[in-house]
Amino acid sequence: MKAFTLIELLVSTLVLSILVAGIYLILNSGQMAYHTDVGLLELKQPAIHALDVITREIREARGITIIPTADANFDQLIFNTHSKTNVRYYCDNIAGALYDINQDNVVYQLIREYPPLTYKVLTNNISRLKFSQSGNLLTIELQTSKTAVGQRALSFSLRQEVRLRNE
Amino acid sequence: MNNRGIALILSYVVIMVLTIFASAFIARTVSDTNLTARYMDSTKAFWVAEAGLNQAYYNYKNSIPQPVGPVDFPGGGTYTIDAGNLLAVKVTGIFGRTNTQRTVQASLVAVPQLFKNTLSVGGGIIFYAPGSRPASFKVGGKTRISGEFHSSGIPYRGGQYIPGTSWFEDIEEGVSVDQTTLGIPDYNNNGIENEYDDFVQMGRLIAGSYPQSEVIYLQTAGSVLLTSQSDLSRKKVVFVEGNSESWWGGGDIYVWGPSLSSGDDLTLISTHNIVYISSQQAAGSRLSTISWGQYSESTDSETREGVIYSHSYGYWTGGTSPFSTKLIKGNVMINGDVVLEGITNLELDYSDRVLRGDIPPGFKWLFSTQGDPKLMADWQEGE
C-alpha cells in the first residue's frame, strides 16, 4: 500500500474547498432570496389591504381635506361620509416605541381614526403617504419600507386613483 | 437483539413527516388560491354593480322601465336593480363561481333641499284680511321666505279691527333666494337660465317623456278649462302652451271640478297662469302644478295633496263660503310674492313624499339647477 503524496492531498483539499465555497454561495444566496421575498411579502400584503380599505371608504367621501404635516412624506386626510363625520387617515407611531429591526428608525403606522380617539392600525412600516385631489379624482400614494435580515433595504410603492362618487 | 424491523418503522416515520409537510403545503396553496379567487370575484362584482347602477340611471333618465330580476352582464356576472326608492336605488352585483356579492347604492335624482319645506317663497307674504270675518292662515312644517311676512286688515264696523290669525310652526324670514326658489334650467341651451323659452322647452321635454296615452299637450292662444267632464284618468301630465309670454298670449289652465281617483298623480303645466277653483280629489291622489305665471286658488272647503310651483306669484282668495277651509298637504314653492286676500282660510301641511323619492310627474326636470342631474347623489357601498 502506498500512501497519498503531499501533492495529492493538496489538490484534493483545493477541490474540496472550491466545492464547499460553491455550496456556501448557493445556500447563502438562497437564504438571502428567502429573506427578501418574505420581507417583501410582509410589506406588500398589508399595504395592499390598507389601500383597499381606504379606497372603499373614500369612494363615498365628501368634504375632503388634505392636511400636509411637518414631515413632507406624510399627509393627513379628513373627510365625511353620509353617516360619519371627521374620518381621519394619517401616519403616526401610536405604539410609541416601535422600531425597525436595527433599532434606529421609528416605524410609522397607517392609522384610521374614527370616531375620534378610536384608532385602528391598518399597516406598519409606512414610509410615505400622500394624497392629492383634482376635481373628483383623489390620488393616494403609499410606500412601505423596512430593512430585511442582512441589511437589505426593501420598499414597496402603491398608487391608486379613486373617483369620488359624491364630490 | 433483532433490529431488522427498524427500517420499516423508520420509513413509516419519514413518509408520515413528508405527508404532513406535503398536505400542509397543499392546504395553504389551495386556501391562497381560493382567497385570491374570492378577492378577484369581489372586485369584479363591485364593477358589475357599478355598471348596473349606471344602467339604472340611464333607464331612469330615458324613462325606460327598470329590469326586474338579475340581468346578465356582457363581461360575465349578473346585477340586480332594486329601484323601489329613487333616492336609494340599490344594485347588487354577483360574479364568479364563488358567487361573491357587492352592493352599491345611490340616489338617482338630487332632490332640492326646498322639499324639506312646506312653504318656500322667493318674495314676501302679505296676508290681507278684510276684517269682516276672521280669516286664517296656518302652516305646519317649515316656512322659508326671502322677504317678510306681513299681516294687515281693514277696520270694520266703526273701527273694530279683526286681523287674520296666522300660525307658523317654524318660520324664517330673509332667507337667501337660492334656499327659497327653483329656477328653470337652461333647456334652450343659450347659456341663460330662467327664461320663458327655457320653460316652454322644459314643458315640451316633459310632455315628450311620457307615453302619449298619459299626456295631454295643447298649444293655444286661449285658455283650457278642466271640468268634471274632463277625462283625466291615467293621465300624468297636462301641458298647455300659450303663444307668447305676454298676458294675451294665452295658455292658462282653469281647474274647475275635474275628478281624480285614488292613486292618480297628475301634474298641470302652464306657460301662463293656473287658476284653481275646485277638484274632486279622492284620498291618495295628487294634483301638482307647474306654472310660469301666477298660481291662484280659492279657499273652498277641500283637502288635497300636491306640489305647487310657480315661477311668478301665488294668490289665495276666499271661497264661496266664508266658513270653508282649504287644506293642502305637500310643498308649495313660489318664486315671487304670496298674497292671501279676503276671507281666506288656508292651511298648508308638510308631506315628505317627494323627499322619499315619490316625485310628481315632470318635477325632476325642475331639479337640475340644484344638483346636476347628470350626477347621481349619495353614493355609498354596502346595504
Measured at the CA of A96, the angle between CA A90 and CA A102, to 5 degrees, comes to: 100
Measured at the CA of A65, the angle between CA A61 and CA A69, to 5 degrees, comes to: 135
* Whether the predicted model's global pTM rises above the 0.80 cut: no
Q: What is the DSSP string of A83-105?
A: S-S-EEEEEE-TTS--B-TTS-S
Please report residues of B whose CB lies closer than 8 A to that of A81. 380
Please report residues of B whose CB lies closer than 8 A to that of A59. 379, 381
Q: What is the pLDDT of residues A92-106, one digit of tens each?
A: 876 555 555 555 566
Q: How far apart are CA B90 and CA B50, in angstroms?
A: 10
- Cβ within 8 Å of residue A109, ≥6 positions away: A91, A92, A93, A94, A95, A98, A121, A122, A123, A124, A126
Q: How far apart are CA A167 and CA B105, in angstroms?
A: 15
Quick one: cell of B108?
338617482
* Closest by CA position to A71, among listed A133, A148, A1, A126: A126
* Closest by CA position to B284, among listed B329, B326, B238, B327: B329
Which chain A residue shows the shortest CA-CA distance from B50?
A165
Would you list which residues of chain B are within 8 Å, Cβ to Cβ, of chain A?
Answer: 106, 376-381
* Closest by CA position to B141, among listed B123, B115, B122, B121: B115
Q: Place A69 in a pLDDT band, splitting at 50, 70 and 90.
A: confident
Instruction: Kindly determine whether residue A60 and residue B106, on different chains, have CB atoms separated by under 8 Å.
Output: no
* pLDDT of res. B375: 59
* pLDDT of res. B371: 39
Alpha-carbon distance A125 to nearest alpha carbon in chain B (angstroms):
24
Q: What is the largest CA-CA distance in chain A?
A: 95
Alpha-carbon distance A154 to nearest alpha carbon in chain B (angstroms):
24
| φ, ψ (nearest 5 deg) of residue A136 | -105, 20
A81 lies within 8 A of chain B by CB? yes
Instruction: Kindly determine whether residue A59 and residue B381, on different chains, have CB atoms separated by under 8 Å.
Output: yes
* Closest by CA position to A47, among listed A165, A163, A155: A155
Residue pair B266/B206 in contact (Cβ under 8 Å)? The answer is no
A135 lies within 8 A of chain B by CB? no
Q: Indicate if the pLDDT at residue A117 is higher than 90.
A: no
* pLDDT of res. B98: 82
- Cβ within 8 Å of residue B86, ≥6 positions away: B60, B107, B108, B109, B357, B358, B359
Beta-carbon pairs below 8 A across chains A and B: 15
Q: What is the dihedral of CA B374, B378, B379, B381, to 10 degrees?
A: -170
Residue pair A139/A120 in contact (Cβ under 8 Å)? The answer is no
Q: Indicate if the pLDDT at residue A161 is higher than 50.
A: yes
Measured at the CA of B356, the angle between CA B283 and CA B118, to 5 degrees, comes to: 70
Quick one: cell of B322?
266664508
**Run of H or E including A143:** strand A137-148
Assign 3-class secondary structure to chain B.
CCCCCHHHHHHHHHHHHHHHHHHHHHHHHHHHHHHHHHHHHHHHHHHHHHHHHHHHHHHHHCCCCCCCCCEECCCCCEEEEECCCHHHEEEEEEECCCCEEEEEEEECCCCCHHHHCCEEECCCEEEEECCCCCCEEEEEEEEEECCCEEEEECEECCCEECCCEEEEEEEECCCCHHHCCCCCCCCCCCCCCCCHHHHHHHHHHHHHCCCHHHEEEEECCCEEEEECCCCCCCCCEEEEECCCCCHHHCCEEEEEEEEECCCCEEEEEECCCEEEEEEEECCCCEEEEEECCCEEEECCCEEEEEEEEECCCEEEECCCCCCCCEEEEEEEEECCCEEEECCCEEEEEECCCCCCCCCCCCHHHCHHHCCCCCCCEEEEECC
Residue pair B227/B253 in contact (Cβ under 8 Å)? The answer is no
Give chain B's length: 383
A56 lies within 8 A of chain B by CB? yes
Which chain B residue shows the shortest CA-CA distance from A164?
B379
| B141-159 CB burial, b ≥16 within 10 A, e <16 | bbbbbbbebebebeeeeee
Instruction: Give the amino acid at B258.
Output: P
Average pLDDT of the residues in A29-55: 90
Please report residues of A whose CB lies closer than 8 A to that of B378. 82, 166
Quick one: cell of B190?
343659450
* Closest by CA position to B121, among listed B133, B105, B135, B139: B139
Instruction: Kindly determine whether residue B379 and residue A165, on different chains, have CB atoms separated by under 8 Å.
Output: yes
Higher pLDDT, B259 or A83: B259
Instruction: Kindly determine whether residue B381 and residue A60, on different chains, have CB atoms separated by under 8 Å.
Output: yes
Instruction: Kindly determine whether residue A60 and residue B377, on different chains, have CB atoms separated by under 8 Å.
Output: no
Query: Helix, strand, coil % (nearest 5) of chain A?
Result: 30, 40, 30
Please report residues of A whose CB lies closer than 8 A to that of B376. 165
Q: How far apart are CA B354 and CA B176, in angstroms?
A: 22
Instruction: Give the amino acid at B62.
Output: N
> Which whole-number Å values give the CA distances from A155 to A129, A135, B331, in the listed order?
13, 30, 60
Q: How far apart are CA B169 and CA B148, in angstroms?
A: 16
Split chain B (383 residues) into runs of 10 and give each run's mean pLDDT: 81 95 95 91 94 89 85 93 84 90 86 90 88 82 94 65 82 92 88 91 90 93 91 91 88 92 94 92 93 93 93 89 87 95 89 86 76 64 75
| φ, ψ (nearest 5 deg) of residue A11 | -60, -45
Instruction: Give the amino acid at A99.
Output: Y
Q: How far apart are CA B137 and CA B163, in angstroms?
A: 11
* pLDDT of res. A153: 86
Average pLDDT of the residues in A143-149: 85
> Which whole-number Å values give the CA distances from B221 to B250, B321, B354, in the listed order?
4, 33, 33
